[in-house]
Structure 1
Amino acid sequence: MFDFIRKPFGYEPILTKEDLKKPKEKKGERPNNSKDVLLRIWRLVDEQRALLIAVLVLVAISSGLSILGPYLVGHIVDEYIVAGRFGGFGRMVVLLIAVYAGLSVAMYLQSFWMIGISQRAVYKMRTGLFSHFQQLPVKFFDRRQHGELMSRMTNDIENVSQTLNNSFIQVFSSVLTLVGTVAVMLSLSPLLTVLTMTIIPLMFAAVRWITKRTGRLYKAQQRAVGELNGMIEESISGQRIVKAFSQEDRVMDEFTEKSERLRRTGFWALTYAGFIPKVMNFLNNGAFAVVAGIGGILALTGDGLVTIGTIVIFTEYARQFTRPLNDLANQFNTVLSAIAGAERVFAIMDEKPERDDAKGHADTVLKGEVEFRNVAFGYGEGDYTVEEVSFRVRPGEAAAFVGATGAGKTTVMQLLARFYDANEGQILIDGIPITELPRKTLRSQTAFVLQDPFLFEASVMDNIRYGRLDATDEEVIEAAKEANAHDFIMKLEDGYETVLSADGGEISQGQKQLLSIARALVADPVLLLLDEATSSIDTVTEMKIQEALERLMEGRTSFIIAHRLNTVRKADLIFVMQDGRLAESGKQEELIGSGGLYDQMLKGAEL
C-alpha cells in the first residue's frame, strides 16, 4: 500500500512492509477492535458521570457563547455602525465583552474538570494493568520482553491520557459548534450557507485518505516503541554479558535497526497527520474567499438578500465552520493513536490470570512431605521437559538434584512452586494434591534461594524483611546473624538502613546471596528451594554460605540443585536427572561406589 512512497529530498528511506506487518497473535491474546476499545475507555470515564455531565454542560455553554459572539458583532455592524446610530451601542459592547468573558471562564472550568476526570480514569487503567500483572502466571513473563511490557504501562497509557485530556472536550465542542454554526448560517442566508458547505465533500475525502493511512501507522509506531524499549531493557540488564563477549557493536546494530524502524513509522505517521491542517487551511481560505466575493456582489446589488453585517458574520462563521471540522480531523488522528495504545493495554488485561481453583486447605500448616507420582511436563507443545518422574521426600529431609544442564532439575522446582502445573501425573504435599492447595498457602510456606538473587532498591533491612513483612527489626537482625551477613552489613555506610541500588550493584555476589539466605530465614518456611545457591562464589564466601545454608535447612524439607557436588554431600537423598528422567536415586552412601551416574560424576569431579 505504501510502495508509492519514495525518498523525499533524497534522504528519507521508504516505509517497508516489515514496519507495518501485524504482530503474530500470541496464544491467549484476544484482539480488540476500535469500537470495543473506545467502549472500554468510555466505561472508565463514565464512572465519574456527575462531573462528566457538568463538563458537557459547560462545553454546551461555551459552544453557544462562541456562536453568539460573531452574531453580536454582525448585529452591531448592521444596527449601529452602518445605520449611524449609537443609542444602546455601549450596552451591546458590554454584552459582547460579557459573552467572551463567560466563554473564557466556561472553557477554563471544563478543561480543569476534564483533566481530573481523565487522570482518574487513566489512574484506574494503570493500576488495573499493574494489578493484573501481579495475577498473571510466571509463564506469561517468561515469553515476553520485560521492556516491552513496561512500554505498555508507560507509553501506551500516556497516549490514552493525552487523548482524554484534550480530545474528549474538543470532539464534543466541535460537534456542538458545527451544528450551531450551520443553524445560524441557514437562518441568515441559505445561499451563502450552501456556498460555504461546498468544501465538505473535499474535506471528507481528504481526511478519509489521510486517516486510512495514519491508523495503521500509529499501531506500527506503538509496536516499534515497545520493541525498542524491550531491547533497551534487555541490553542494559545484560550489560556485563555484552561487554564480556565484546558484543557492543552487535547490540548497537540491533538498536540502530529498531530505532530506525521507529523513526520511519514515526516520520510517516506525523507526515500524514500533518497534511490535515494544511488541507484544512487551504479549504478554509477557499470558503472565506467565496463568501467574501459572492457576498460582496450580492450586497452591492442592493436586493436586500445580504447585508454588510451578514457578510461580516459569515466571514467569521466561515472560519468557525471549518475550525471544528479541522479539530475533528486532527482529534481523529489523536484518537487513533490512543486506540493503538489502549488496544495493547487491554490485550494484556484480557490475558487469563493465574487460576487458583483450590478452595480448601487455605489454613493448612504444611509438614513438608513431598511426593511426585509419574509427573510429566513440557513448557510448550511437543516433547516433555521432564517425564515419568516419581520420588518421595519426607519432612525435614534434604533432597539434592544433580545432572547435566537441561536435565530437568529446575523444571522440578518450577512445578513444586506451582509456577507451572504438570501435564501428567500428580504432585502431593502432605498427601494433598498440589492443585488442591491455594497457591498463596503453598508459597507462603516456601522460600527460594536462587543462583542470582534479586534485591530491590530499598534498605538492607527492607530487603531481608521481604521474606516476611511483619518481621520485627530484631528478627531481621537475628536472621542476618544466622546467615553470616551481619558483619558485612554493619560495615556498610548506614548499616541495616543502607539503601541498595537497583539489584544491589554496590555489594558482591556472595553478599547478595547471604542477604537472600537471611530473607529465607525470616520467612521461616516449611519447604526450601535452593537453585545453584553457591554457584560463582569464591571459596571463603562459599564456606560462609554453606554454613548459613546448613542453619537454614535444619528441620526443613529442602530441595537443592547444584552442579558442584561438594555442596550436596550432606543431602539425605540424591536424585540424578538425565534427559528429563530420574536416572537414579538414593542415599549418598548407596550411590557412592555403585558405578552409576552419580558415582561417575563424583570421580570426574575428583579428577
Structure 2
Amino acid sequence: MADTKGKAFDTKLFKRLLQFASPYRKQLVTAALGAIILSLCAALRPRFMKLAIDDGITAKSEDDLIYYIALIGVVLLGQVIFQLIFIYTSNWVGQQVIKDIRVKLFDHMLKFKMQYYDKSAVGRLVTRAVGDIETISSIFSQGLFMIISDLLMMGVVLGFMFYESWRTTLIVLAVFPIILYATRVFQKAMKVAFEEVRTQVANLNTFVQERVTGMKIVQIFTREAIEHKKFKAINKKHMDAWNKTVWYNSIFFPIAEMCTSVTIGLIAWFIGSRIAQGDPGYSIGILVAFISYIQMLFTPLRQIADKFNTLQMGMVAANRVFGILDTESQIQNTGTLRLDKTEGRISFDNVRFSYVEGEEVLKGISLDVKAGQTVAIVGSTGAGKSTIINLLSRFYEIDSGLISIDDVSIKEIQLEVLRKEIAVVLQDVFLFADSILNNITLNDTSITEEDVIAAAKAIGVHKFISSLPDGYHYNVKERGAMLSSGQRQLIAFLRAYVSNPAILVLDEATSSVDSHSEQLIQKATDKITQGRTSIVIAHRLATIKKADLIIVMEKGKIVEQGTHKELLAQESGYYKNLYEVQFMAEVV
C-alpha cells in the first residue's frame, strides 16, 4: 500500500483511480463541457451587470438597461441548466466507479486464503468494502469535478478581470499568494488528519462488530461495564481525530474570509479614488463588477480547500481499498485438470504444514484412503485433526509433501472442481440470514426444491424442516440463530448431501446436541457416508466402530492406525488409552 501520509495529493494513486472512470468517457466529457459552459455563464453575469449600470442606469438608457437585464436572465438560466447537467453527470460517474471498485474488491476478497481472514479483523474489512468505498465516490461527486469546475471559473473570471482593468486585477492578485499559501498548509494538515480519522473509524467498526457478535460472552461474564469503558476510550479517539479537522477548518476559513474582505476594501478604495479623480477608465459599473469578480475568485478558492478535504478523504479511502486489492493472499489456481469422474482415493505423502512459520502443526503426515472408505480421525485437542480437513480442500497451502486425489496432485486440479468434489461439514455450522432452502442450495440454480426435499427425506430430516413455520422457506436469521445447534448441523448435512460430492469431510461433534437431534445426526451420518470416501473427525464411539480405518493423531503426527479391534489389541497404545478415558462413558 502506498504511503501517502503527509502528502497533499498522491498523483500515482489518483491516476490509478481514474482508470476506473475510463469506461465512462462520454459522461466525463459531458461533465467537462457542463463545467466549461457553467464557468462562462458565471463570469458573464458581472460583465452584463457592469454594462447595465454604465450603459443603462448611468447613461439613463432604459432600452439598454432592459437588454442587459434580459441577458443576465439568460445567463442565469444557462447556469441552472448546465449546473444540473454537471452535478448529475459527475455524481453518476462517481456511483458507477464505486460500483465497479466494490465488485472488484469483493471478488478479490472471495479468493483470499483462510490464513488472511485468520489475521484480519472483520470490522476492518467491512469498513474497507462499504464505508471506504462509499467515501471514494465523493472524489467524483464533490471533490475532483467540483475542484476542476471551480478552477475553470477562476481562470475565466481572471480573464474577464484583466479585460476590464489590468491594474485593478494586479491589486487583487497581490493578496492572492497569502490565501494560496494558507490553502496549501491547510491541505497538508488535513491529509494527515483524515488518515487518522479513517484509522479510528476502522477501529470503531472492528470493536463494535466483535462485541455485537460476541454479546453472549460479554453478558455471561458480566463484562458490560468493562466493554463500555473500552468503547468510550475508542470513541473518544475517534472524536479527537475529527476535532483536529474541525480545528484546522476553524483556522483556515476566517483567514480566507479576511483576505476577501481586505481585497474588496482595497478595490473599493482604488476604483473609488480613480472615479473621484475623473479617470474615464473607471466607473461604478466596474466597481460592482469587480466586487462580484472577487467573490467569484476567492469563494471558489475557499470552497476548493473544503472540497480538497473531501477529495483527500476519498484518496485516503482509496489508498486503503487499493491496499487490500494489492494484497496477494490467494491460493494459486494453476491447476488445469477437471476430474470427470472422481473415485475418491486420497493420499497424504510426508505432508508438513505450519500456520505460523517455524511452528509445525503437521509433521510429516502420510496416509492412504481407498475409494469408498470411511476413515475416522481421533486424537487430543491440537493434534492436527482439523488441519487435515483444511489442507485437503486447499484452504491453506502445505509447506512440503504431496496431497493427491486419484493419484493426481490437488495442485493440478482446478480449484473450483476440487472443492465441488469435496463437501465439508464443520462442527461450527455457519448459516446465512436466509431461508433454509437457500442455505442448503447456496443459490445453486441446478439444485431444485424437489431435489432438496428428496434428499431431506433420504437422510431423515424432512419431518424436522416441515415442522418449522414456512418449512423450507423459513428464515433462520443471522448465523442460523433461530435454530438449535443440532438443527443447524442437520442443515449442514443436507447441504453436503445435495451437492453429491465424491469425498465427504465431516466433523460430527455433538457435545451440545439433544438426544433426538443426535439420533437424526447419526442417521444422516450413516446415509451421507454410504458409498463415498469419508474422512470423519470422530467424537462418537458408534462412528469410530463403523469406520474402515481409524487414524490416531498426537502432536501433529500419526501415531497409530488400524480398525477398532486392531487398535484395542495394542497394549498401552494411544488409541486404547483414549478409548478408556474418552469413550468408555458411552458404553456404560
TM-score band by shorter chain is over 0.9
1:601 maps to: 578
- What are the within-5 Å matches in structure 2 for residues 472-487 of structure 1? 472-487=448-463
Residues 467 and 110 of structure 1: is their aligned pair in 2 closer, same or farther, counting only changes over 3 Å? closer
Deviates further, 249-258 or 584-593: 249-258
Q: 1:406, 1:268 → 2: CA distance?
A: 48
1:115-173 deviation line (CA, Å, top 9, x unaligned): 22211111111111111111222222121011111111111011111231122331111
Q: 1:254, 1:553 → 2: CA distance?
A: 48
1:198 maps to: 174
User: Residue 135 of structure 1: which of 111, 121, 133 is its match?
Assistant: 111
| CA positional deviation for 1:108 | 0.8
1:171 maps to: 147
Q: 2:545, 2:224 → 1: CA distance?
A: 42
Secondary structure of 2:62's match?
Answer: coil
Question: Match of 1:600, as an amino acid?
Answer: N
2:67 maps to: 91
Verify the 8 A CA contact 1:71 1:313 in the aligned structure 2. yes
1:515 maps to: 491
2:514 maps to: 538
Secondary structure of 1:458's match?
Answer: coil
1:522-562 deviation line (CA, Å, top 9, x unaligned): 01111111124434212332121011111111111111113
Q: 1:414, 1:318 → 2: CA distance?
A: 68
Verify the 8 A CA contact 2:191 2:312 in the aligned structure 1. yes
- What are the within-5 Å matches in structure 2 for residues 44-123 of structure 1? 44-123=20-99
| CA positional deviation for 1:355 | 4.0
User: Aligned pair 1:573/2:560, yes or no?
Assistant: no
- What are the within-5 Å matches in structure 2 for residues 408-447 of structure 1? 408-447=384-423
Q: 2:443, 2:135 → 1: CA distance?
A: 37
1:11 maps to: none
User: Aligned pair 1:234/2:199, yes or no?
Assistant: no
Secondary structure of 2:63's match?
Answer: coil
Residues 291 and 32 of structure 1: is their aligned pair in 2 closer, same or farther, counting only changes over 3 Å? closer
1:591 maps to: 567
2:127 maps to: 151
1:372-403 deviation line (CA, Å, top 9, x unaligned): 11100111222211111111111111112211
Identity of aligned residues (%): 30
Secondary structure of 1:453's match?
Answer: coil
What TM-score, normalized by structure 2, do the two folds share? 0.95
1:164-216 deviation line (CA, Å, top 9, x unaligned): 11223311111111111111112222221121122222112222222222111
Q: 1:442, 1:343 → 2: CA distance?
A: 35
1:348-388 deviation line (CA, Å, top 9, x unaligned): 11122624443432243211111111100111222211111
Residues 105 and 350 of structure 1: is their aligned pair in 2 closer, same or farther, counting only changes over 3 Å? same
Q: 1:133, 1:224 → 2: CA distance?
A: 22
User: Aligned pair 1:525/2:507, yes or no?
Assistant: no
Verify the 8 A CA contact 1:468 1:522 in the aligned structure 2. no
Secondary structure of 1:48's match?
Answer: helix
Question: Match of 2:147, as an amino acid?
Answer: V
Q: 1:275, 1:566 → 2: CA distance?
A: 75
Question: Match of 1:235, as an amino acid?
Answer: R
2:157 maps to: 181
Question: Match of 2:579, as an amino acid?
Answer: L
Residues 274 and 126 of structure 1: is their aligned pair in 2 closer, same or farther, counting only changes over 3 Å? farther
Q: 1:316, 1:358 → 2: CA distance?
A: 65
| CA positional deviation for 1:32 | 6.8
| CA positional deviation for 1:44 | 1.5
- Residue correspondences, number: 579
1:248 maps to: 224
Verify the 8 A CA contact 2:183 2:252 in the aligned structure 1. yes
Q: 2:44, 2:339 → 1: CA distance?
A: 70
Verify the 8 A CA contact 1:531 1:561 in the aligned structure 2. yes
Q: 2:509, 2:449 → 1: CA distance?
A: 25
Runs of 5+ in structure 1 lacking a partner? 1-28
Question: Match of 2:573, as an amino acid?
Answer: G
Q: 2:459, 2:241 → 1: CA distance?
A: 53
- What is the RMSD of the two structures over their aligned residues, measured on CA atoms? 1.8
Q: 2:444, 2:70 → 1: CA distance?
A: 70
Verify the 8 A CA contact 1:356 1:438 in the aligned structure 2. no
Verify the 8 A CA contact 1:31 1:347 in the aligned structure 2. no
Runs of 5+ in structure 2 lacking a partner? none
Residues 335 and 30 of structure 1: is their aligned pair in 2 closer, same or farther, counting only changes over 3 Å? closer
Residues 221 and 132 of structure 1: is their aligned pair in 2 closer, same or farther, counting only changes over 3 Å? same
Residues 540 and 240 of structure 1: is their aligned pair in 2 closer, same or farther, counting only changes over 3 Å? same
| CA positional deviation for 1:467 | 8.5
Q: 1:224, 1:51 → 2: CA distance?
A: 35
Residues 467 and 187 of structure 1: is their aligned pair in 2 closer, same or farther, counting only changes over 3 Å? closer
What TM-score, normalized by structure 1, do the two folds share? 0.92
Question: Match of 2:140, as an amino acid?
Answer: L
Verify the 8 A CA contact 1:30 1:350 in the aligned structure 2. no
| CA positional deviation for 1:65 | 0.7
Verify the 8 A CA contact 1:457 1:504 in the aligned structure 2. yes
Q: 2:421, 2:262 → 1: CA distance?
A: 76
Q: 1:545, 1:53 → 2: CA distance?
A: 63
1:343 maps to: 319
User: Aligned pair 1:386/2:362, yes or no?
Assistant: yes
1:334 maps to: 310
Question: Match of 2:354, as an amino acid?
Answer: G
1:66-98 deviation line (CA, Å, top 9, x unaligned): 000001101111112112232332222111111
User: Aligned pair 1:460/2:436, yes or no?
Assistant: yes
Q: 2:460, 2:489 → 1: CA distance?
A: 10
Q: 1:400, 1:85 → 2: CA distance?
A: 103
Q: 1:468, 1:98 → 2: CA distance?
A: 59
2:100 maps to: 124
